[in-house]
Amino acid sequence: MNNDVAIKVVNMTKSFKLYSDKANTLKERLVRGWKNKPEIRTVLKSIDLTISKGETVALIGVNGSGKSTLLKLMTKIIYPNKGTVKTNGKLTSLLELGAGFHPDFTGRENIYFNAAIFGLTKEEIDQRLNEIIEFSELGDFIDSPVRTYSSGMYMRLAFSVAINVDADILLIDEILAVGDQHFQDKCFQKLEELSNSNKTIVIVSHSLGAIEKLCKRAIWIKDGEIAMDGNSNKVIEAYLKECA
Amino acid sequence: MNAFKELYQYRELLKTNVRKDIRGKYKASFLGVLWSFVNPLLQVLVYAIVFPYIMKVQTDNYLIFLICGIIPWTWFTYSISNGTTSITNNANLIKKVYFPRVILPISVVTSGLVNFLISCFIILIFVLLGGVGLSWHLVFLPFIALIQYIITLAFTLLLSAINVYIKDVEYIIAFLINMLFYATPILYSTEIFHGSWLVWIFKLNPLAHLISAYRDIFYVHQVPQIFNLLILLLVGLLILIICYEIFKKLEKRFAEEV
């Protein structure tokens, strides 16, 4: 793969098996036998996509069009049925904030748990610890158990960890709505800063206004296919026209 | 080789998982971590009280004989039963974040190992107080524990992956572990079956070899059956590789199936 390319998707198809009622236990499998043929739904159809290093790209489309599935394929949470998805560089995905948080442990301890899931070592976390705590603006609460946090505080801590991982590629799924207005602005600023510093960002969002400001390129996904790919102003305009 | 590199990169996750397993499990309880040692001790106590009466056991120092069997056995069952559900219980993580999935079963077996090594001090205390004493044969301990780690990990990998697709595995396993407990010379010595065809059960049961090796070094004070252990090591490595490959095949659809 060319060194300037961050993500390359070649002729990739992903389909899910849909069971009307999934046979999860042995009994169900034995009783129904293998007659219960699943329905196969193709969510993404032969997608070809190249994202270069340093690009900030938005994925837009209506609910269920396959945007989040595409992000999950890029993270390697799921794998394609056909074709390939290749990524180049350290990758972090913010599909859900606070993965691996343990409610009984303090915010500080949870920073370690959460950052470890992203593949950071102890030393790397130590280096970033102050920055993470500062960014979260949790103050003294950082040493209280996470179960005592409000949902806003929880999200702030989680976002601060994820954003400070220092990945080359950042995949973000609809989480711009974190915390209060002040914190949202701060997150947005941080993302702008990252996108200017040669990081690759792929973002799924319905906040078209924010996307238009943040991304130069937008990809419109419609029924599992790329309907349009190009300058974000133009793509969003065409998308809004279709939705109206 | 890539697999090792990735595991090394995620070593902090492995460490925090082990710490969480050991500390987090009993965090809310009064005795805390001590429960992981009190539990097997209470179990030993029950057998030590009950069995000499109903079975007329003739073994000297039966209590120590029991402990040498129960403590490795606890490691094995802890790993198998918690390891089998390690993927399904972490469905949330599996669906949301990428990390090498093998970390989950590996951390269960590893936290079992840490518990086991600490529990070995309990064996030592009993051995000293019971008048059996210590001997240089303890140098074999790491070697025996390594073999047990390899074999336990192999089964844990296999079972954790299959349990994602067929949820019955965890219940079948609970039953099989119960059976295996009586097919392993923990409460009794293999010598009482001398000359019977039942000896074959012990010959084919890897745990029987391991436990008799532990007894050799803690209780009998003799060199364990090195040849048997070497074969066990080779077979263990072979099944570990096979089980790992199966895990790798099955893990691709974990996020869709859990």
Q: Which long-range contacts (CB under 8 A, 24 or more apart) does A208-212 make?
A: A208/A60, A208/A236, A208/A239, A208/A240, A210/A176, A211/A58, A211/A60, A211/A236, A212/A236
CA B94 to chain A, closest CA, distance in angstroms equals 7
Question: What is the structure's pLDDT at A209?
Answer: 85
ipTM: 0.83
Determine the Cα–Cα distance for residues B37 and B144; give it in Å rounded to an integer: 21
Same domain, A201 and A240: yes
Radius of gyration of chain B (CA): 19
pLDDT at B160: 97
CB distance from B200 to chain A under 8 Å?
no
A53 plus A160 within the same structural domain: no
- Which of A121, A151, A167 is the last residue in one of the domains? A167
Residues of chain A with Cβ-Cβ distance to B252 below 8 Å are: 78-79
A201 forms bridges with which residues in the sheet? A56, A170
Regarding whether A42 and A82 lie in a shared domain, the answer is yes
The span from the first CA to the last CA of chain A, in angstroms, equals 40
How close, in Å, is residue A101 to chain B by CA atoms? 10
- Assess contact for A162 and A97: CB atoms under 8 A: yes
Closest CA to A27 of B236, B167, B234, B224: B167
Identify whether residues A202 and A244 lie together within a single domain. yes
Question: SS3 breakdown of chain A: % helix, strand, coil, rounded to 5?
Answer: 40, 30, 30
**pLDDT digit string, tens, across residues B124-136:** 988 998 888 889 9
Q: Note whether A85 and A173 are same-domain residues.
A: yes
Specify the pairing of strand A39-52 against strand A5-18: antiparallel
The CATH number that applies at residue A220 is: 3.40.50.300
E-strand ranges in A79-232 read 82-87, 91-94, 169-173, 200-204, 217-222, 225-231
Between A19 and B250, the more confident residue is B250
Which strands sit side by side in the sheet containing A39-52, from one edge to the other? Answer: A39-52, A5-18, A82-87
Residue type, A241: K
Q: Are A228 and A52 in contact (CB under 8 A)?
A: no
What part of A 169-208 touches B (C-beta under 8 Å)? Answer: none
Confidence tier at B39 by pLDDT (50, 70, 90): confident
Mean pLDDT of A213-231: 91
The model's pLDDT over B204-221, given as tens digits with 9 standing for 90+, comes to 999 999 999 999 999 999
Do residues B215 and B132 make contact, with C-beta atoms less than 8 angstroms apart? no
In angstroms, rounded to a whole number, what is the distance separating the alpha carbons of residues A125 and A105?
Answer: 17
Note whether A23 and A38 are within 8 A (CB).
no
Could you tell me where the DSSP H helices lie in B10-102? 11-19, 35-55, 62-84, 91-96
Assess whether A190 and A217 both reside in one domain: yes
Helix (DSSP H) and strand (DSSP E) numbers for chain A: 8, 9
Task: Answer with the one of A112, A145, A167 that is the final residue of a domain.
Answer: A167
pLDDT at A184 over 70: yes
Number of domains within chain A: 2
Same domain, A159 and A219: no
Res B83 pLDDT > 90: yes
Q: Are residues A220 and A159 in the same domain?
A: no
Whether A108 and A187 map to the same domain: the answer is: no
B94/A77 Cβ within 8 A: yes
Conformation bin of residue A224: beta by default, left when phi > 0, alpha when psi is -120 to 50: left
Backbone torsions φ then ψ of B7, nearest 5 degrees: -60, -40
Residues of A in contact with B250 (CB under 8 A): none
Check CB contact of A77 with chain B, cutoff 8 Å.
yes
Handedness of CA B173, B178, B180, B181 (dihedral sign): positive
Helix (H, G, I), strand (E, B) or coil at A42: strand
Domain that holds residue A210: 1-89+168-244
Task: Estimate the share of chain B in helix, then strand, then coil, as percent rounded to the nearest 5.
Answer: 80, 0, 20
pLDDT tens profile A122-168? 999 999 999 999 998 888 999 999 999 988 888 888 888 888 888 88
B32 touches A at CB < 8 Å? no
- Give the torsion sign (CA, A47, A232, A168, B93): negative
On whether both A61 and A115 belong to a single domain, the answer is no
Give the closest-approach CA distance of B169 to chain A in angstroms: 9
Which residue bears the tokens 């790329």? A226
Share of chain B above pLDDT 70, in %: 95
- Tell me the Cα Rg of chain A: 20
Residues A47 and A67 in one domain: yes
Note whether A83 and A2 are same-domain residues: yes
Domain limit, last residue, from A167, A189, A214: A167
Residue range B105-122: mean pLDDT, rounded: 93
